[in-house]
């Protein structure tokens, strides 16, 4: 399991605030924009289960992205990340009886998500993490809690010349090591992207003219485009299906069932839609119907 000492320290600091608050924490923060997060009081789990261990520890370590606005983003000067993945993380933590303040958010990049889970550096990963058969060989992945598709981001002046993945073999393209985005365009379109560790690295390359296009999930690209609408444009239709899942330790089916039950409840009680509207919805993405969950394997 992930080390939880940092979470415990923060829990002590948070206790004074929690004592005066109702279960719906947004009301305590004074920020009406943030979705409310329900934190279960004394939830009961089977002895020895991952749920019981996390719930008793009172903290959880979640691997997230911190450079993808709308999904997982740490704004300069903030110590709490924001975005749809972060809200999903708070919903899972809340169902374990863990308050948002007791979550340890750990940055993961695309290429270290499997090793972080395998080595127990984090308890779960919620990081624009597409479910794939290959990844499911080495880690557990459940969901999807969101479905997007791969697109292309270009500078405004190139939006009529670079319009689809067929052109990526002929222009300087950036993508990220360990992502489906990179392998999709190599395998299906003969592109040879310049590989970087993060999408914010690619964004810098695109903005300074070192590359002419970057490619990954539309949801990620829309977040960047929303930050520089006069400068950047998402072009073309989606050319893949990316089903975002929650990563957990391979083989922990009981935990998978718990995650699925929690997601289904969030779909049914409207908290999933509320989380979406407050995050990706702000980048102009329309709130979809929640996707059907895979059965745990």
Binding site for ligand GLU (CB under 6 A): 110, 127-130, 176, 179-181, 216-217, 242
**Residue with nearest beta carbon to ligand GLU:** 179
Nearer CB in complex with ligand GLU: 55/110: 110
Q: How far is the CB of 145 from ligand GLU (least distance, A)?
A: 13
Q: How far is the CB of 219 from ligand GLU (least distance, A)?
A: 9
Q: How far is the CB of 218 from ligand GLU (least distance, A)?
A: 10
Nearer CB in complex with ligand GLU: 57/66: 66
Nearer CB in complex with ligand GLU: 98/152: 152
Q: How far is the CB of 164 from ligand GLU (least distance, A)?
A: 18
Nearer CB in complex with ligand GLU: 94/290: 290
d(CA 293, CA 195): 32
Nearer CB in complex with ligand GLU: 10/65: 65
Contact 253, 187 (CB under 8 A): no
Q: How far is the CB of 122 from ligand GLU (least distance, A)?
A: 15
């Amino acid at each position: 399991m992930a080390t939880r000492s940092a979470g415990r320290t923060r829990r002590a600091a948070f206790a004074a605030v929690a004592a005066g608050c109702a279960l719906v924490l947004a009301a305590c923060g004074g920020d009406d924009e943030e979705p409310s997060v329900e934190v279960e009081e004394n939830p009961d789990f089977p002895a020895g289960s991952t749920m019981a261990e996390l719930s008793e520890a009172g903290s959880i370590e979640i691997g997230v992205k911190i450079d993808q606005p709308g999904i997982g983003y740490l704004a300069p000067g903030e110590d709490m990340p924001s975005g749809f993945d972060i809200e999903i993380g708070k919903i899972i933590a809340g169902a374990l009886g863990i308050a948002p303040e007791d979550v340890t958010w750990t940055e993961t990049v695309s290429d270290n998500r499997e090793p972080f889970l395998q080595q127990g550096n984090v308890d779960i990963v919620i990081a624009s993490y597409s479910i794939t058969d290959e990844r499911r060989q080495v880690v557990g992945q459940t969901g999807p809690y969101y479905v997007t598709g791969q697109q292309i981001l270009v500078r405004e002046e190139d939006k009529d010349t670079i319009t689809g993945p067929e052109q990526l073999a002929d222009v300087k393209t950036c993508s990220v090591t360990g992502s489906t985005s990179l392998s999709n365009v190599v395998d299906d379109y003969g592109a040879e992207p310049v590989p970087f560790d993060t999408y914010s690295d690619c964004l810098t390359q695109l903005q300074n003219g070192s590359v002419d296009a970057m490619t990954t999930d539309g949801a990620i690209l829309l977040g960047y485009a929303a930050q520089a609408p006069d400068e950047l444009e998402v072009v073309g239709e989606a050319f893949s299906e990316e089903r975002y899942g929650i990563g957990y330790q391979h083989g922990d089916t009981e935990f998978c069932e718990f995650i699925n039950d929690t997601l289904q409840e969030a779909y049914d009680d409207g908290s999933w839609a509320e989380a979406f509207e407050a995050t990706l919805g702000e980048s102009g993405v329309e709130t979809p119907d929640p996707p059907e969950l895979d059965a745990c394997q």
